[in-house]
Structure 1
Amino acid sequence: MVAEKKKIAIIGAGPVGCAFAVHLVKAGHDVTIVGRGQRLANLEENGGVQTKKSEKATEISKTPVKAVGSLDTSQLWDLILLTVTEHQFDEPLFATLKACPKTTEILFMFSTFASLEEYFDVLGKERCIMGFPAITACFYDRALVHKFLSFGQITIISSPKWRSIFSSAEIVCVHEPDMQSWLRTHAAIVVGFQSAAVAAAKRKSGVTWAEAQLSAGAAREGLALVKKLGNNITPKFIYYLGVAGPSFVLTGLFWVLTRIPAFRNNPQVLPNWEREMLGLAESILEAAPSDEDVRLIRQLKSKYV
């Protein structure tokens, strides 16, 4: 059990939200998942989150978790953890978050290229925590299979306090003070990475060199925009891969990755990665000072809409 029990609401009943819930409940925290549709119905029917160790495993465990259809804004939540995607942030959700007690902290676990000031202005900068989950997670026959990554890409968070709380719940994470730079860097590289994966999944084979060039060119264009907007390429190895290095390095990486069956056959690619990639591309387009800054990203997006 934890020394100080926290009252946490998780908005989003998808694999990522359920994975956080499992770890936080096992660490002794009071957790409520806010969901909708079939995922909410499954949680209510099961009385919590069902998990198993692998896709083919037959043994299923259950972690009891409260599940509701809407957030009770009168509750004294210590943390509201949002695991929905950027395009799901709408005016009703902002209104709900604003109605919560001022002592409630709000953690955004999402991908965006937009200025974080948009969220700070609405909710108050002192309440907002930014992060990004490094996790593989998917439902198989209504049971969650997941793993928080503990090397390479690790879950990051802008709050040292919550980094410590999550780490004690066996969610390996690190503190990142410059989340604006990190998120913009991540969005730029992910647009290239995911577009290559989506193209390969639809083709059911590796992409052509020209397709890899377009994905890599869009990523490099996004990274150049990160610098133009006054942010840093973070982490630094992305700078050497996507900015300082020759263009054929990133092109070659995408070309090779799409020839790995496990990469292009990932069940998250269609439709999840395609939807996320298009949302991030739109986020970059909206932030660009001019059309010339995002010519390749616009060209890439037009292939899918």
Structure 2
Amino acid sequence: MAVDEKKIAIVGAGPVGCAFAVHLIKAGHDVTIVGRGQRLANLETNGGVLAKKSEKATEIAKTPVKAVGSLDTAQPWDLVLLTITEHQFDEPLFATLKACPKTTEILFMFNTFASLDKYFDVLGKERCVMGFPSITASFHDGALVHQFLSFGQITIISSPEWRAIFSSAKITCVHEPDMQSWLRTHAVMVLGVMSSAVAAAKRKSGVTWAEARLSAGAAREGFALVKKLGNDITPKLVYYLGVAAPSFVFTGVLWVLTRVPSIRNNPQVPNWEREMLGLAESIIGAAPSGDDVRLISQLRSKFV
């Protein structure tokens, strides 16, 4: 069956952005990666994305891709896919996105607790698509190693149309209509898990019960805030683990998790710390009062 080719710009030349590019190009779409610094230079030098099946694999494949340093707002993009982190959104980027053709849809793939109205108000709700990538991706010796998850937590997207397009590109994903609830729930869960993982990496051993209890307590406080702001805890598994179950259950999960060597020795820990602190700030900023985020503020102070 012929592919309905889409013209797609991916802002972010990191491993996640490159993984999306590889799949979408192979599915027959016209893809341009917008990057900067050494990652942009690597794409230009290599003439595309270099990838291999595993860290130890020696065979490297190349997927040709156009790589540029800035987004051309005059192009008739069908989609601009943003695979950068929330703290990288700034006024110049908003202005660039706003200048794209009115028919261009903008897909945000990121962690945030903030109200999505901040994006809708600037760009128009009808143009904004929200999602979250479930993927393991990193560069090894300059080559991309990645896998989109196809079980457990799967890539989600608020647009049925783009969900179908991504699925046809072998990116397993599901439709999620209530992205505000999902993103806020996910941000709180990530705060609890990442804070424990970062603490374990720093001490080079599993966290203490007190440390796990603080991370779990901060997450439970965050879930209460999600409800207070009028959203649902979703998916239900998170509700059962982080809200319905006794507090010691989630504490125990975090305590055990940090005793897994691959968790505390993960090379992405520095990135996790930045992301975790950014999420903490996002949650604190959305809270009606300081009393709503007392434990989250206490947790954040241990890393700054």
Equivalent position amino acid for 2:266 in 1: N
Q: Is the 8 Å Cα contact of residues 3 and 27 (structure 2) preserved in structure 1? A: no
- Within 5 Å, give how 1:218-229 maps onto structure 2: 218-229=218-229
Q: Distance in 1 between matches of 2:2 and 2:178?
A: 29
Equivalent position amino acid for 1:189 in 2: M
Q: Distance in 2 between matches of 1:2 and 1:229?
A: 45
Q: Is the 8 Å Cα contact of residues 60 and 143 (structure 1) preserved in structure 2? A: yes
Q: Distance in 2 between matches of 1:62 and 1:224?
A: 47
Equivalent position amino acid for 2:72 in 1: D
Find the counterpart in structure 1 of residue 33 from structure 2: 33
Equivalent position amino acid for 2:180 in 1: Q
User: How much does 1:56 deviate?
Assistant: 1.1
Q: Is the 8 Å Cα contact of residues 284 and 293 (structure 2) preserved in structure 1? A: yes
In structure 2, relative to structure 1, the CA distance for the partners of 1:2 and 1:247 (3 Å cut) is farther
Q: Is the 8 Å Cα contact of residues 154 and 174 (structure 2) preserved in structure 1? A: yes
Q: Distance in 2 between matches of 1:88 and 1:282?
A: 14
Query: 1:137 and 2:145 equivalent?
Result: no
- Within 5 Å, give how 1:149-164 maps onto structure 2: 149-164=149-164
Q: Distance in 2 between matches of 1:299 and 1:57?
A: 44
Unaligned runs of 5+ in 2: none
Equivalent position amino acid for 1:276 in 2: E
Q: Distance in 2 between matches of 1:70 and 1:184?
A: 30
- Within 5 Å, give how 1:1-305 maps onto structure 2: 2-269=2-269, 271-305=270-304
Equivalent position amino acid for 2:280 in 1: A
Deviations 1:108-134 (A, max 9, x none): 000000000110000000000000000
Q: Distance in 1 between matches of 2:53 and 2:230?
A: 43
User: How much does 1:2 deviate?
Assistant: 4.8
> RMSD value over aligned CA atoms?
0.7
Q: Distance in 1 between matches of 2:129 and 2:70?
A: 22
Secondary structure of the equivalent of 1:174? Answer: strand
Q: Distance in 1 between matches of 2:100 and 2:124?
A: 12
User: How much does 1:267 deviate?
Assistant: 1.4
Deviations 1:190-247 (A, max 9, x none): 0000000000111111000011001111111111100000000010111110011100
Q: Distance in 2 between matches of 1:252 and 1:53?
A: 34
Equivalent position amino acid for 2:276 in 1: M
Deviations 1:11-64 (A, max 9, x none): 000010000000000000000000000000000000000001111111111100
Q: Distance in 2 between matches of 1:211 and 1:98?
A: 44
User: How much does 1:180 deviate?
Assistant: 0.2
Secondary structure of the equivalent of 1:153? Answer: coil
Secondary structure of the equivalent of 1:87? Answer: helix
Deviations 1:143-166 (A, max 9, x none): 000000000000000000000000
Q: Distance in 1 between matches of 2:164 and 2:2?
A: 11
Equivalent position amino acid for 1:298 in 2: S
Secondary structure of the equivalent of 2:298? Answer: helix
Q: Distance in 2 between matches of 1:42 and 1:4?
A: 30
Secondary structure of the equivalent of 2:171? Answer: coil
Deviations 1:253-297 (A, max 9, x none): 00000000011111111x100000000000000000010100010
Q: Distance in 2 between matches of 1:284 and 1:98?
A: 26
Secondary structure of the equivalent of 2:161? Answer: helix
Q: Is the 8 Å Cα contact of residues 82 and 108 (structure 2) preserved in structure 1? A: yes
Q: Is the 8 Å Cα contact of residues 108 and 131 (structure 1) preserved in structure 2? A: yes
TM-score (norm 2): 0.99
- Which consecutive aligned stretches of 4+ in structure 1 deviate over 3 angstroms post-superposition? none
User: How much does 1:3 deviate?
Assistant: 2.3
In structure 2, relative to structure 1, the CA distance for the partners of 1:101 and 1:242 (3 Å cut) is same
Secondary structure of the equivalent of 1:16? Answer: helix
